[in-house]
Amino acid sequence: MLGKALMRQWTEDEITGLGSAQADIRSPDQIDKAVADNPEWIVLSAAYTDVDGCETNPMLAAAVNTQGAVNVAKAAANSRAKLLFISTDYVFDGKKNTPYEADDARAPINVYGKSKADAEEKILGLLPDACIVRTSWLFGPGGKCFPDTILKLAANRPEIDVVNDQRGCPTYTFDLADAIIRLCRAGAKGIVHSTNRGVCSWYEFASEIVQQRGLNTIIHPTTSDRFVRPAARPTYSVLSAASLSRYGIKMRNWQETLPDYLRERDKLLQVS
């Protein structure tokens, strides 16, 4: 999802986009070949992102999200490329009630979060000047994401229950891609938090999606204990914008991005 947005938005430099078929990050040989043309930057967006899947398959989570990231960091070091690694709000436990700063201690509460937190630490050990961009609640056209799920459910159901006790920052992939491009141009280093502005619960997010789409579906607030899933989720995963502001980057409010998302999603549906 983010990889596609990066390829679409990054128009002013020479870019090569690679999926797992071209470069499996678990294979150091494949990664070495992928960076043989000595890129200036490597942006590592690839990950095993199925949070519940990670819980039942921790070996795969560690192999892709931690060791895969280490493989890419080593290749970046060998080819003198700068590395920008995409990470997640799930490196935190969600117990705070004020926004997480970039230097807050990592305390993941699920396997996916631990695999990304371990990757962050190992990357910074290998490449102290790497840039780690943590984001949250990603959505965008062409990917499995929350707004797409809500719109598909709303097409068939008059009422939907959505949890109201987890709060975070929805982030539109195209806006994040623009921020990543600007961070590379600025030679960014260290940990940067990059999300759209504004905070909501999943219930509030779903309500806004349905309202902006002009649907009559009723969204009911419910609690996480009614939707038990294999992986625990942080109840509060709001990332502070302070680290991003240092680069002069201010992202839009998440509500403002929804019309763009809905338009791009419609375009894709017309094509398919």
Ligand X SMILES: NC(=O)c1ccc[n+]([C@@H]2O[C@H](COP(=O)([O-])OP(=O)(O)OC[C@H]3O[C@@H](n4cnc5c(N)ncnc54)[C@H](OP(=O)(O)O)[C@@H]3O)[C@@H](O)[C@H]2O)c1
Interface with ligand X (CB under 6 A) = 1-3, 19-21, 23-26, 45-49, 64, 68, 86, 88, 116, 135-138, 143
- How near is the Cβ of 110 to ligand X at its closest, in Å? 12
Q: What is the DSSP string of the chain?
A: -HHHHHHHH--SS------TTT--TT-HHHHHHHTTT--SEEEE------HHHHHH-HHHHIIIIIIIHHHHHHHHHHTT-EEEEEEEGGGS-S--SSPBPTTSPP---SHHHHHHHHHHHHHHHH-TT-EEEEE-SEE-TTS--HHHHHHHHHTT-SEEEEE-S-EE--EEHHHHHHHHHHHHHTT--EEEE---B--EEHHHHHHHHHHHHT--PEEEEE-GGGS--SS---SEEPBPSHHHHTTT--PPBHHHHHHHHHHHHHHHHHH-
Catalytic residue, from 112, 172, 236, 261: name it: 112
| Least distance between ligand X and beta carbon 202 (Å) | 12
In this chain, which residue has its C-beta nearest to ligand X?
19
CB of 57 to ligand X, least distance (A): 12
CA 31, CA 5: separation in Å to the nearest integer? 22
112 is catalytic: yes
In the complex, minimum distance from the CB of residue 18 to ligand X, in angstroms, rounded to a whole number: 7
Q: Which CB atom, from 87 or from 164, has the smaller least distance to ligand X?
A: 87
Q: How far is the CB of 205 from ligand X (least distance, A)?
A: 12
Torsion over CA: 175, 181, 185, 189 (sign): positive
C-beta closer to ligand X: residue 17 or 159? 17
Which residues form the catalytic set?
112
